[in-house]
């Protein structure tokens, strides 16, 4: 490969994009791999071959059409991981319905916003999960359910919602049971389903995912069949998936990590989707990998840390593991190396992207040298373009930090019903502005330096928290660490490290400063230290640095530096 002269790469490939809808592709996949295992859900005791799963998906798709739903209607799903979630993902695709992923952690106000923003006509929901009573929260928004027949809801606050479908066994006022929905379609809807499938186009919207912002309401990233089917395929290619693989998926389905990097990567390669539980549990994940002889494992860094630090870790036979993806937040080099060494993940890959780009645009390859795989997010995906630009929008030289922009098939259709925010994100040339700071080296490997909003400017020096975190991970007593910037009268900003120690260990801020002294530049050594048991994070494992910053400022009584 010719050395880059500027920070621009394109994924030239002789492997064509898939020009089909998800429904048509799945039907063909079920014929091709009919007797291969497709879906294994440990906590529900369910197993489906591809042929069996296809039949269940068709039953559900016909049931949805029997409710009077039409192509383009929005169907929300508010549930932790289960077989019904997977079936709904593919059934809505076959019926031309737009699946709306609702975060299992959402509460009443967030649910109200999401359902009304995209005018959901139907909502499939679990009864409860952990501390969330989903049916009670929905009833608080739509008390009219108590006096409504299923499908005849006329709710003042949720004027578009007509159907509520519960995954529970009990019949609840105004709601239809999922099991009854499966029986509604009948063969009478088969011709309708086939007619819709023939009419759908791969550029049609198929999925809305709400992106979690630090300010304002979440934005509904709208994705097409073409976006996510192709991204799932090329993710699976990078992992070298085959029908012999079984991928353990403990990450949430409502997020791209679960439904694209997990489900669609498997379906496009005839591999088995394996779910260890409703939500992440390190013991259940380890048990599932060992019992099902999983060959792949997905997770965010905090998940891998929890698995490797579990007291029973050494008793599990993980020799079947080969590959997987560590992504969702910056992946510490030391955690990657440890996963390779102790979990038999010699072909684990790193992936980088964002919901708005379906999500992956960079991924390491199983054939990349280990040092490249643990220190970068790999090279550009096929059929994708990326450039790194400065504040004026000019492409920077290799090795120079700048904002990462993505263009190509993965870029979303836009934010649902929000032209202004779509125009802010996607420029007239089709580039998606990610807000991430990155560098490209001369061989095209990408390194994510941080978020533009996370970059700390201390006394005129640009400081990238990711660099400092990577160094602090080398400390033998530190299990996890996050670095943020906080206001300072003298330097404008100072650094604060939130530190999670290994069990039974003690260390002071002075000890850590001494560890840094002479190893990294003085202005990169954090001034403040907070020792914590956990970090504030989203349900997908993304660290919420803005929450950490707010708490630190409040606890230390800091004020923003005065500016001219």
Residue corresponding to tokens 């409703």:
278
| Reduced DSSP (H G I as helix, E B as strand, rest coil) percent helix, strand, coil of the chain, to 5 | 35, 25, 40
Q: Pick from 562, 558, 544: which is nearest to 486 by CA?
A: 558
Under the banding of pLDDT at 50, 70 and 90, the label for residue 331 is confident
Q: What structural domains does the chain harbor?
A: 48-219 (3.40.50.980), 456-556 (3.30.300.30)
Collect all residues with Cβ–Cβ distance below 8 Å to 327 and sequence separation of at least 6. 257, 261, 298, 300, 350, 351, 352, 353, 360
On the question of pLDDT at 492 being above 90, the answer is: no
| Beta carbons of 388 and 440 less than 8 angstroms apart | yes
Bridge partners for 380 per DSSP: 362
> pLDDT by residue (tens digit) across 47-99?
999 999 999 999 999 999 999 999 999 999 999 999 999 999 999 999 999 99
- 160, pLDDT greater than 50: yes
Helix locations, 118-159, DSSP H? 134-141
**In the structure encoding, which two tokens stand for residue 460, read together?**
């005129």
Two structure tokens written together for 116: 């009304």
pLDDT digit string (tens) for 369-421? Answer: 888 888 899 999 999 999 999 999 999 999 999 999 999 999 999 999 999 99
d(C-alpha 478, C-alpha 476), whole Å:
6
Q: Note the helical H segments in 312-418.
A: 333-342, 370-375
H or E, element range at 75: strand 74-78
User: pLDDT tens digits, residue range 498-544?
Assistant: 999 999 999 999 999 999 998 988 889 999 999 999 999 876 677 88
The whole-number pLDDT of residue 538 equals 77
What value does the mean pLDDT of the chain take?
94
Average pLDDT over residues 211-233: 86
Q: Give the number of C-alpha atoms closer than 13 A to the C-alpha of residue 456, restricted to the C-beta side.
A: 28
């Amino acid at each position: 490969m010719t050395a880059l002269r500027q920070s621009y790469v394109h994924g030239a490939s002789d492997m064509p994009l898939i020009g089909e809808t998800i429904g048509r592709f799945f039907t063909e996949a079920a014929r091709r791999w009919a007797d291969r295992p497709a879906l294994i859900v440990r906590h529900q005791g369910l197993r489906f071959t591809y042929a069996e799963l296809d039949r269940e998906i068709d039953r559900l798709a016909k049931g949805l059409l029997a409710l009077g739903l039409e192509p383009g209607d929005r169907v929300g799903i508010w549930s932790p991981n289960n077989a019904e979630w997977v079936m709904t993902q593919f059934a809505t695709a076959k019926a031309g319905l737009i699946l709306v992923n609702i975060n299992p952690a959402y509460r009443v106000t967030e649910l109200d916003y999401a359902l009304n923003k995209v005018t959901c006509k139907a909502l499939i929901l679990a009864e409860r999960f952990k501390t969330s009573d989903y049916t009670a929260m929905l009833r608080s928004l739509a008390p009219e359910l108590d006096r409504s027949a299923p499908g005849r809801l006329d709710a003042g606050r949720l004027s578009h919602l007509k159907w509520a479908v519960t995954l529970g066994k009990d019949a609840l006022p105004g709601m239809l049971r999922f099991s009854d929905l499966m029986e509604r379609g009948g063969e009478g809807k088969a011709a309708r389903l086939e007619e819709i499938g023939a009419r759908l186009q791969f550029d049609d919207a198929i999925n809305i995912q709400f992106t979690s912002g630090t300010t304002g309401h979440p934005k509904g990233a709208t994705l097409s069949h073409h976006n996510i089917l192709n991204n799932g395929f090329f993710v699976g290619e990078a992992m070298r998936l085959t029908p012999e693989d079984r991928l353990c998926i403990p990450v949430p389905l409502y997020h791209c990590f679960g439904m694209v990097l997990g489900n669609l990567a498997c379906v496009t390669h005839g591999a088995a989707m394996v779910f260890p539980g409703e939500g992440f549990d390190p013991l259940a994940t380890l048990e599932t990998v060992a019992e099902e002889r999983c060959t792949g494992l997905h997770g965010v860094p905090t998940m891998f840390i929890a698995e490797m630090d579990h007291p029973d870790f050494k008793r599990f036979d993980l020799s079947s593991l080969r590959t997987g993806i560590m992504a969702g937040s910056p992946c510490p080099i030391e955690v990657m190396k440890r996963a390779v060494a102790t979990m038999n993940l010699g072909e684990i890959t790193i992936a980088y992207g964002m919901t708005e780009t379906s999500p992956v645009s960079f991924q390491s390859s199983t054939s990349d040298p280990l040092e490249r795989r643990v220190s970068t997010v790999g090279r550009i995906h096929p059929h994708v373009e990326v450039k790194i630009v400065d504040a004026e929008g000019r492409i920077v030289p290799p090795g120079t930090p700048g904002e990462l922009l993505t263009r190509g098939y993965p870029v979303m259709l836009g934010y649902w019903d929000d032209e202004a925010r779509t125009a802010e994100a996607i420029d007239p040339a089709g580039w998606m502005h990610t807000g991430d700071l990155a560098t490209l080296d001369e061989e095209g490997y990408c390194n994510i330096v941080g978020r533009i909003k996370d970059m700390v400017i201390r006394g005129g020096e640009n400081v990238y928290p990711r660099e400092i975190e990577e160094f602090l991970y080398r400390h033998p007593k530190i299990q996890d660490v996050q670095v943020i910037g906080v206001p300072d009268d003298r330097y404008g900003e100072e650094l604060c490290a939130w530190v999670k120690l290994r069990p039974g260990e003690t260390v002071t801020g002075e000890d850590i400063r001494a560890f840094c002294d002479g190893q990294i530049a003085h202005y990169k050594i954090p001034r403040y230290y907070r020792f914590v048991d956990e970090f504030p994070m989203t349900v997908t494992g993304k660290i919420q640095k803005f929450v950490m910053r707010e708490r630190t400022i409040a606890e230390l009584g800091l004020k923003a530096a005065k500016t001219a």
